[in-house]
Amino acid sequence: MMADSSDSRQKVAIIGAGAAGMSCASTLAKHPQKYEVTLFDTAPHTGGQATSIPLDDSRHGASWLNEGVQGGSPIFRHTFNFFRRYGYEPVEVKLQVSFGKGPDSFWTNMFPSPLVDRFSDEIQKFGRVLKWIKRLMPFLGILPVKVMLKLFRFSTEFGNKMVLPLLALFLGTGNQTPNVPSVLLERLFDDKNMRLWDYDPDTLLPNQPTMYTFPNLSDFYHDWARDLSSRGVHIRLKTAPELVRRDKHGVTLRPHPATDDPNGDPDEADLPCEEFDEMVICCPADEAKSLLGEHATWREKYVLGGVKFFNDITVTHSDSEYFNNIFETRYKGDLCAKDNSQSRRDQIVFSQKTPRTRKDGWEGFAPMYYIHSYESDPDKIEMGFDCTNYQHQFREAFGENAISPESDRHVYQTIFLNDQEKHLWTWDGIDESKIVDKKWWHQFGHRWQHYLRVVPGMMFINGKNRTLYAGAWTMVNMHEIACISGIAAAYRLGADYEVFDDFAEDFFSKYLLVSHGVRYKRGKNGEPT
């Protein structure tokens, strides 16, 4: 796809102002002589799901909380590059997790547990299986995790208590984790571009791997949007574009005011149409399909229709009694296994300490990520975050002194997955007076069908019919993938890729090849090769 070679600028409409849309607009804005960019979103703010909410700092120690996106791993190079461009810095934190409840189900990456000892042979076998998945790609890679676990004769308990929670929490696959392709599990430990940590043959998850917490996302996206506006990008929030025409000559959109009032929209005849040369759709796949309507090709209907979404809710609260009842939040002797090696003794001594803040997290056992499985349906989970232990603004506020796990000064988030399974949820146990916020999310499921139908199908619809697609749903639910996808769409339109990091460049080139069927060449402007 080539940009217009005439003196007139190419008019580009970007639908969706989340991480993908903003990344695309930012990349195009580096070439003001080539592109005139208009960015639409129905929300009153940029950032999509990457939002922050206000807190009572006199009670909780911080005035804000990142809600939809908590943080990321060292692989988030494009995300961090955008942060630093506007003076925001991600903050390193040593990750602590707490999975399960009680001695028979609990395990952590901080100290050995009876569960880890019981599954010692299966943990080591799991490491060997990861290598076989890599060797026999794509056959083993496309198999759902639940099938792979049965194929290699792992116990149901090992899968439900260790493998599924680990994958669910860190790739955001939720209750669809049993249906996730095994390749994602292998990538989690082994792929240099997507790996979050190394496989540990003793405890599965390594002790305190490095993660990063994000700065105030609402402030960051506000500053980013303001800069793009100053560079000529037309940002039109609370606006829902309607596709009127799409053909070889361009795209016609009719922007509507986004309103919940059925009588608040003017007569369509009074709304002017606007002409664009290209359109980049950066909203969820089901919204993209709805936007295209009768203009969608059979390929677009097939690919976009293959993305399955689920409705989840995040409850932000300060109910420590509820949270402590659901999860293991403090060190207990009966949760700990024998100290039969020096490394284990060191881990136990460290975890037994009264928690105190450090620059990169906590000294002592102060978990940040939690998983709780339902007894009645053990492959279904609830996820939790102790945001006070995780997000850096709280550590900075309280200094060295930890807040007791029993204190309602803690800010927690509990995520209830798939509203079709509400009968399992424990949300009735949360004290309503301690709820800070509730927010519903429309999340796509990483089912194996997604990687058989959607991901390989993207290259057949990207760049066709004056339309490109971007968003985390095109591959994996990560803020980093959303950023890369937006940059890739801009690259296809002829914008330059900014080379700032060899690792990031390699990651970008792989995404471009998979999602667009285009080989990246440094210094080239995105012309397919």
Query: What is residue 70's predicted lDDT score, i.e. its pLDDT?
Result: 85
Q: How many helices (H) and strands (E) does the chain have?
A: 20, 22
Query: Quick one: tokens of 17?
Result: 């102002």
The bridge status of strand 10-15 relative to strand 35-40 is: parallel
Query: What is residue 1's predicted lDDT score, i.e. its pLDDT?
Result: 45
Contact 467, 24 (CB under 8 A): no
Element (H, E) at 81: helix 77-85
Low-confidence stretches of the chain (pLDDT beneath 50): 1-7, 526-529
Residues with Cβ < 8 Å from 425, sequence gap 6 or more? 382, 416
* Other CB atoms within 10 Å distance of the CB of residue 84: 13
Query: What is residue 401's predicted lDDT score, i.e. its pLDDT?
Result: 67
Query: What is residue 522's predicted lDDT score, i.e. its pLDDT?
Result: 85
Mean pLDDT of the chain: 91
CA 442/CA 422 separation, integer angstroms:
15
pLDDT in tens, 443-501: 888 899 999 999 999 999 999 999 999 999 999 989 999 999 999 999 999 999 999 99
CATH code of the domain made up of 10-51+216-308+447-516 = 3.50.50.60
3-state secondary structure at position 55: coil
Query: What is residue 310's predicted lDDT score, i.e. its pLDDT?
Result: 92
Structural domain boundaries in the chain: 10-51+216-308+447-516, 90-210+310-445
CA 272/CA 284 separation, integer angstroms:
26
Query: What is residue 2's predicted lDDT score, i.e. its pLDDT?
Result: 43
- Whether the ω angle into residue 138 lies within 30 degrees of 0, i.e. cis, is yes
Q: What are phi and psi of 35, to 5 degrees?
A: -130, 140
Query: What is residue 277's predicted lDDT score, i.e. its pLDDT?
Result: 97
Residues with Cβ < 8 Å from 304, sequence gap 6 or more? 285, 286, 288, 289, 292, 296, 454, 461
pTM score of the predicted model: 0.92
